[in-house]
A and B are shown apart, each in its own frame.
Chain A
């Protein structure tokens, strides 16, 4: 099963490598990982997507908690939450395809960020499946590159992952 583990971690050099090292040393799988500073500059927030059976994910959570730099963590998949991923796609365009790509982008509530004579850069945010669907809807031969942030998430309601 897919799990989204959200981690508050000390914003210190090497903290990221402790998390990444743990996953490789214990043979856990990372589907995506993103990290950035929070409103408190001493803390970073990391969102990690992993897959595994219940026992493996329980171990992942325990092992992460054991890292001294990890302040708190939560498995977002366990309760109602919102998930978003950012994607940018660079697409080869011709005068024939431009309209189609623009309308497709609109349908997916994306934006054309950059335009050159032969390309578009489309920006899109949403759940990962929506981004998958957009990529699938475009002729693969026209895709120059795809950049995705990996999902990040937040729980619904008043509870939050904070100190």
Chain B
């Protein structure tokens, strides 16, 4: 009682100067002051003080997931769709370790996230206490940075730093590990959320070097066979508009990486498709034959380059990236430019507009003729007469039904590649997938995060019967928070991508790439309180998809029984170059193919 009165007295004393809050209140208030809308989390012992503070306010909405991995993916999906940082709250020990897959997923794709993890009380750290794990140590290799809070008076500043680091430069996840005693409701300290923080050891680059930019422009204007190769950095750097203007000013062909789909409108004639392992024939051939590659916010990932010795043998390379460490990491570039891609593109556009020279008209016409010839191969064509449902057909129908304007999340495998190849993304932030880490189980929770951010938009999760089972428990979260998403399950009764590799490289020894006991997804969806639909014939696909999307306020699980023998084409097999692609065999479709 005495201390209570003393507290009240103290509070009144300091009310003019600052507010006194407990660590738990400081955290919640900091999130509020940071403008956080949602936190995705799961309670536990080490974060009980925090959950009590969350209970006593409603500015920051908490989304209770069913597994911490789901929390990280949902926050990640939210971040990818909105550009705002995703926020996660988990408890110590297993709560923290369950979050690691999602943290690594965000790290590989440079997604801004702040993950608050509870920790055992400071005095027992290092004693193998109940639910203790060295979260800072475990996450060190898969975060942009992490903090262990040791002093409650530094908490607000640390949270501010976490958001600052996560969202600036090359974005990434930041973990803030908070021991339980720091959030003690009985210890109150003055609170002030810093408007700005600066760190002497952290200065992300903004403007590209002017001379380098000039040099790049000269190369662009002299190029005979140029290709614009853009990646996820253009999405993250909000530079899609500038990229489009830049590309159209030059009239160059544009290819996007898996992470960059939507950078440039896929329905535009200058778009030559995705590049890389399952990229289009025209995109990969153009890269191979090109004399100038301009890479924007892309990192020459091994799934893009194929065999490095064979990568773009005739091309000079300009590389624009905010992360100097991404430049010349695997492929030596000729003109490196470190800076924000939006800023660099603006400068290039200005230089191009003022320049007396124009792009090489004649050479470009010949280049486009060559590209159109590659295009005429129609590398993405598939058997449209099949009596079985072709997965590619499903994506085409999904595109039609959603008028090309849905947010599409995916899991990992064949369905992911088909979604990337056949859904034509005209806008950035619409295609949401785990590109770098390749995390199965990503799609469903990510879709929930997207739907929370954009309640009126169509959100589809394209998945497969294997991936969806990795985070299926989040169906329950989707019901609790009324996030009506559409799950498009391309059910081929195989881990399709594994099976495909086993077919190509292991003489069709399908080692453990199937399951004998796949659940009845319709019943499962119903058990979770949703609507389940099943499609088995190609002629029903359109109608069922329309019915599913017509149910605006329900989550619908559409289980689509597809041709189990279908493979993803084109394909660059491991160790091969862009010009050496495996294409779909023109005759003898796989429809009635027996798998050995």
Contacts and interface: CB of A to CB of B under 8 A. Distances in A.
A71 B325 contact: no
Given A55-B332, A71-B200, A65 B324 contact: yes
B140 A17 contact: yes
A21 B329 CA distance: 19
A133 to B, nearest CB: 38
Interface residues of A, number: 20
Contact of B201 (A10, A55, A62): A10
Given A21-B140, A25-B141, A66-B325, A163 B200 contact: yes
B586 interface: no
B503 interface: no
A68 B325 contact: no
A101 B325 CA distance: 50
A71 B201 contact: yes
A70 interface: yes
Contacts of B140: 14, 17-18, 21
B136 interface: yes
B504 interface: no
Given A14-B136, A14-B148, A58 B328 contact: yes
B46 to A, nearest CB: 19
Nearest to B165: A68
B327 to A, nearest CB: 8
Interface string B177-215: 000000000000000000000011110000000000000
Interface residues of B, number: 18
Chain A contact residues, majority secondary structure: helix
A25 B139 CA distance: 12
A77 to B, nearest CB: 20
A62 B148 contact: no
A38 interface: no
Nearest to B144: A68
A69 interface: yes
Interface in B312-329: 323-325, 328-329
A18 B147 CA distance: 12
Interface in B128-156: 136-137, 140-141, 144-145, 148
A103 interface: no
Interface string A1-37: 0000000011001100110010001000000000000
B165 A63 contact: no
Interface in A112-145: none
B145 A63 contact: no
Contacts of A66: 323-325
Contacts of A10: 201
B524 to A, nearest CB: 39
A94 interface: no
A59 interface: yes
A70 B332 CA distance: 25
A63 B325 contact: yes
Nearest to A62: B325
**A9, A58, A62, A63 interface centre (most CB from chain B within 10 Å):** A62
A54 to B, nearest CB: 10
Chain A CB within 10 A, most for which of B140, B148, B323: B140
A69 B143 CA distance: 13
Contacts of A62: 324-325
B141 to A, nearest CB: 5
Interface string A65-86: 1101111000000000000000
Contact of A68 (B141, B148, B202): B202
A68 B145 contact: yes
A33 to B, nearest CB: 17
Interface in A82-104: none
Contacts of A70: 201
Contacts of B145: 68
B319 to A, nearest CB: 13
Nearest to B338: A62
Contact of A55 (B137, B325, B328): B328
Nearest to B199: A68
Contacts of A65: 324-325
Contacts of B329: 59
Contacts of A68: 144-145, 165, 199, 201-202
A18 B201 CA distance: 14
Given A68-B199, A163-B200, A13 B148 contact: yes
A59 B136 CA distance: 24
A20 B498 CA distance: 35
Contacts of B325: 59, 62-63, 65-66
From B144, B148, B199, B200, residue with most partner A Cβ within 10 Å? B200
B321 to A, nearest CB: 11
A59 B329 CA distance: 7
Contacts of B328: 55, 58
A62 B170 CA distance: 14
Nearest to A59: B329
Contacts of A71: 200-201
Contacts of A21: 140-141
Contacts of A17: 137, 140
B569 to A, nearest CB: 34
B163 to A, nearest CB: 14
Contacts of A13: 148
A65 to B, nearest CB: 7
13 contacts: A10-B201, A13-B148, A17-B140, A25-B141, A55-B332, A63-B325, A65-B324, A65-B325, A68-B165, A68-B201, A68-B202, A70-B201, A71-B200
Given A14-B136, A17-B140, A55-B332, 7 more contacts: A10-B201, A14-B137, A17-B137, A55-B328, A68-B144, A69-B201, A71-B200
Query: Which A-B residue pairs are the 10 nearest by beta carbons?
Result: A62-B325, A71-B201, A68-B145, A25-B141, A62-B324, A66-B325, A68-B202, A21-B140, A63-B325, A71-B200
